[in-house]
Each structure stands twice: as structure tokens, then as C-alpha cells.
Amino acid sequence: MLPCYVLLDLETTGGNPVHDRITEIAAVRIENGQEVARWSTLVNPGCSISPFIQHLTGISNAMVRGAPGFETVAQHLLALLDGAVLVAHNVRFDHGFLLNELARLDVALRVKTLCTVRLSRLLYPQHKGHGLDAIMQRHGIRTLERHRAMGDVEVMQAWLQIARQEHGAELLGQQALALLQSSATLPPQLETRVADIPESVGVYIFYGEGPLPLYIGKSIKLRSRVLAHFQAASRAPREMRMAQEIRRIEWLETAGEIGALLLEARLVKERQPAYNRRLRRESTLCAWRLADDPLARPLLSLVRGEALQPQEFGQMYGVYRSKNQALSSLRELADSQGLCLQALGLESGKGRCFAHQIGRCQGVCCGEESPERHHLRLQLALAQQKLLVWPYPGKVGLREYNARSERTDIHIFDQWCHLATVHDETELTDALGSRSTLAFDLDTYRLLLKHIAAPGKGKFELIDWTEKQQQTLNSL
């Protein structure tokens, strides 16, 4: 198949290469088609093996109690792997465990890998199952030691011999070499060709077996970012779980990074992927509205949900993702600035507030500070959190152009809200004439603050429709 390779299998205390440990190693080294070394050993994982894993593998705590630790057998294993390709069934699993075990010893593992699951998919595309049990059933392979390391290595060895007989040594070698030259970090069950993903800006979507997405992300280099997820799977438990579930990948190209950010945020809110925590829809957004009258009580009122209208941002401060976050932030501000809890509405009652009693309020609650001065200090304290009023008389656009793809995206905004992304004159006319209800989104607001505040620094053109609408229409 290959000039030199090692068939390897590990048994472990679980499926997480960061936290779980190895309990058994088996390896067979093949050089020029001949077996030259065979080795297996139990390994003391330094932790308890769960009853489920003991039942699955047949390896008990008593069996590994007197076994060597990984640090004792590591050099022998590295010697076996020296100059060879590591071959395993779902090689990401075994490779990930070896990476983490060796990292604990401050040893770097540098070895090429080949996955026999992916090799089975190439050689037998007419079959759906490519796990070890499916391969055994398909080819009539038998073993009395399934889920023991050497037993599983011998199943792989027997299958490779059958594949050689059925397809010929030349084709087997060609397919193995093709896999070796591609990314060996890809999940074996992945149906999408990663080579088809463009190295351009846009959004990628991971799917499992169902119609709902697992994860949605964006990147200026789609293929590289997707591969980075898989390469991180051996180090990050979350990435490992996602890699184990993924079946296919979709992608949507955009003209630039702003379009990718907007599309990612919208799709995450609409589809609620299981592994996305950021950018999800927040129905509890809120902000503080400051009363104009220094004598008003309370001075601040919480504005929530649909009442949070960008047209009134001149009197609002925030935004917060929950009422608890808003209250906590205000309490911290009051404590640091000596503001009155009663005046702010954080404490009921009359007379001296609790903060004044412990020397943290300057006394607007008991006449020691004027309401006007306290109101001014509150405004100054809140200044950095003040929401900005939309700085344009109407709708504006951010125009992105990608010279490589010759794609143009025009993102239309009004009152900090994203109205549409258009690509031709008809779409633009419809969007500019739309009277749809504006839905405030915190992520879009922050994105626009970053880019509109510094126009010209990004790869886009800012268009004020009140001045340039006809000029832009003519240039589409």
C-alpha cells in the first residue's frame, strides 16, 4: 500500500483526547509489504476506567493497575512510528490522543496520517457503512477481540489484504497516496469535498445528519478556516464533538468581510445552530433611559424589547443583553461614582439611602447634594455608554467590491438596522422604497459603529442615498 506504515489502534477511558487517557496500544509496522514489527501493551491511565468502558473493551481497572504509564512506553512507540505513516481507523481519534499524551511529556508528534475509514469510502463508495463493524460484516472478517487494540489492528490488516486482492496493489497504493497528500485531519464521515470550498470570503455552514445546522461561521478564507476547525479537534473538546457529528458543509460567498459578518449574524439568529453561542437572537435587549428632569424619580427607567427604538437613542444608555446585566452594571456605576441608589430606582424608601449611610452617596436623598448636580454627575458617568443617534438623514449603504470574483454587494442600513443586501438596480429600488419595520440588532449596531466611524479604512464605499442615490443606480 505504502512503502512504510504502522497500523495502530488505541483503547481509551473515553472519547475526549484532552481529558481521557490511553489504556492499551497495539501497533504493527509494515515495510515494503512485509510485517517487520508487532507490539501491544496495556497502559496505566492514571485514572479510573468507567464501568461502561470496562464492559465495552474488556479492560478493567485491575488489569491496568500494574501496567506501565504512557511515559514509560512512549519512546518505544515513537521508535515504531519513526519514518512511517500512522494508519488507523478514524485516525483523528488515535492521532488526537497521541498528540495530547506526548504533549504532557513536552514531546511533539510529527507523523503523517492515513485514515482507513476514508480509504474504505474511496474503494467501496457503493456501501454506506465504513465503520470497523460494517467492514467486518461486509467482508466476512472475524475476530474474538473486537474493541481490544491488537484485535482491531488485525481486522484492519485483514481488510487491507482483501482490498489489495479485490482492487489490486496499484490502485490501493494510488488511493492511499491520494489520501495522504490531502488533509488527513478531515473527519472520515465527511461527505463534502473540502477541495471544492473556495478560498474566498463568505459564510460556511456545518451540518450533521439532520437538516438543522451544527455551526455557522464566517471567514475571509473559507477553506482555510474550515480546515482549522478540524485541525483543532485534537486539542479542543468542543471542536472534537463537532467534528464527530459533521456530515456535510455548505458555503455562501460574499463580496467582503462586512457582508460575511452580516450574513453570519442573520443566519445564526434565524437557524440557531447547536454550537453557536454568540450572535443568537436576544429578545431581552434593554437600555436605560435618562429622565430630563433632575427631580424625576427614578431618574432611570429600563427600556426593553420592541420599545428599544433607535430614533430615541439620544436619551438611552446601554445596550444590555438582560435585565440582570443592566441592573448589575448600574449598581457598579453607582458604587464607583457615589450616586444615590434611591434616585436611580435601585432602592425604595425615603430619607438617607443605604449608600449614604456607609459614605458612598453624596446625599441627594437627604438634601446634601442638589438634584441638578447629581443629575449632571449621572450623565457624565453614563457618557461612555450613551447610544448614538443615527448620524444620517436617511438610509445609507456600504458598498463592497471583490475584484477576484467581480462581485458587488451593497448593504443598506437605516437607524442602525440592516435592511437588505442587494446586487442589482431592481433590488436596490425595492430596498430604498421599503417601509418595513426596523428591528434593532446589537451585533449590527456594533458592526456599524466600527465601520461607519472610520470610513475609508475598509474595502468598501460609504454611500449616503440622500446625495448619491441616482449616481449609484447608474453605476450598477
Cα torsion 391, 395, 396, 397: sign: positive
> pLDDT tens digits for 77-88?
999 999 999 999
In the predicted model, what is the mean pLDDT of residues 52-75? 95
Q: What is the pLDDT of residue 432?
A: 80
Question: Could you write out the DSSP letters of every residue in 21-42?
Answer: -EEEEEEEEEETTEEEEEEEEE
Domains and CATH numbers, the chain: 4-181 (3.30.420.10), 194-271 (3.40.1440.10), 286-385 (no CATH), 396-474 (no CATH)
Cell 474474538 appears where?
A: 144
Which of 308, 350, 314, 348 lies closest to 326 in space, CA to CA?
A: 308
Q: How many CB atoms lie within 10 A of CB 322?
A: 13
Q: For residue 13, is pLDDT > 50?
A: yes
Query: Which residues does residue 11 pair with via DSSP β-bridges, in sequence order?
Result: 24
Q: What confidence category does residue 370 fall into, taking pLDDT thresholds of 50, 70 and 90?
A: very high
Name which residue leads in pLDDT, 373 or 437: 373
> pLDDT tens digits for 330-356?
999 999 999 999 999 998 888 888 889
Alpha-carbon distance 395 to 462, whole Å? 11
Question: Could you write out the DSSP letters of every residue in 371-395?
Answer: HHHHHHHHHHHHGGGBPPPP-SSS-
Rounded to the nearest integer, the mean pLDDT of the chain is 88
Q: Which uninterrupted H or E stretch holds 472?
A: helix 465-475
Q: What is the pLDDT of residue 437?
A: 65
| Order of strands across the sheet that contains 85-88 | 34-42, 22-31, 4-12, 85-88, 113-115
Which of 26, 88, 28, 81 lies closest to 59 in space, CA to CA?
A: 26
Q: What is the pLDDT of residue 168?
A: 92
Q: What confidence category does residue 187 fall into, taking pLDDT thresholds of 50, 70 and 90?
A: confident
What's the distance, Cα to Cα, between the start and end of the chain in Å?
Answer: 56
SS3 content of the chain, % helix, strand, coil (to 5): 45, 20, 35
In the predicted model, what is the mean pLDDT of residues 295-315? 88
Q: At what angle do helices 169-181 and 149-167 cross, to 10 degrees?
A: 120
Q: For residue 60, is pLDDT > 50?
A: yes
What one-character DSSP code corresponds to residue 139? H
Lowest mean pLDDT among 180-184, 397-401, 408-412: 180-184
Q: What is the pLDDT of residue 194?
A: 84
**Phi, psi torsion values for 50, nearest 5 degrees:** -65, 155
> pLDDT tens digits for 438-459?
678 888 888 888 876 554 455 5
> pLDDT tens digits for 114-146?
999 989 999 999 998 899 999 999 999 998 888
Q: Between β-strands 22-31 and 202-207, what pairing exists: parallel, antiparallel or unpaired?
A: unpaired
Q: What is the pLDDT of residue 284?
A: 77
Query: Which residues does residue 26 pair with via DSSP β-bridges, in sequence order?
Result: 9, 40
CB 353 within 8 A of CB 342: yes
Q: For residue 461, is pLDDT > 80?
A: no
User: HSE of 157 in the Cβ direction (CA atoms, 13 Å)?
Assistant: 21
| Order of strands across the sheet that contains 248-253 | 213-219, 202-207, 248-253
Q: For residue 470, is pLDDT > 50?
A: no
In the predicted model, what is the mean pLDDT of residues 58-70? 96
- Cell, residue 248: 456535510
- Cell, residue 402: 471583490
3-state secondary structure of 36: strand
> pLDDT tens digits for 218-275?
999 999 899 888 878 777 788 888 988 999 999 999 999 999 999 998 899 889 999 9
Lowest mean pLDDT among 203-212, 360-369, 443-452: 443-452
CB 320 within 8 A of CB 335: no
3-state secondary structure of 210: coil
Q: For residue 36, is pLDDT > 90?
A: yes
Cell 482483501 appears where?
A: 162
Q: What is the pLDDT of residue 116?
A: 93
- Cell, residue 62: 485491575
In the predicted model, what is the mean pLDDT of residues 291-305? 92
Q: What is the pLDDT of residue 165?
A: 94
In the predicted model, what is the mean pLDDT of residues 305-313? 83
Q: What is the pLDDT of residue 231?
A: 79
* Residues 6+ positions from 331 with CB-CB distance below 8 Å: 346
Q: For residue 466, is pLDDT > 70?
A: no
Q: What is the pLDDT of residue 391?
A: 86
Q: What is the pLDDT of residue 96?
A: 87
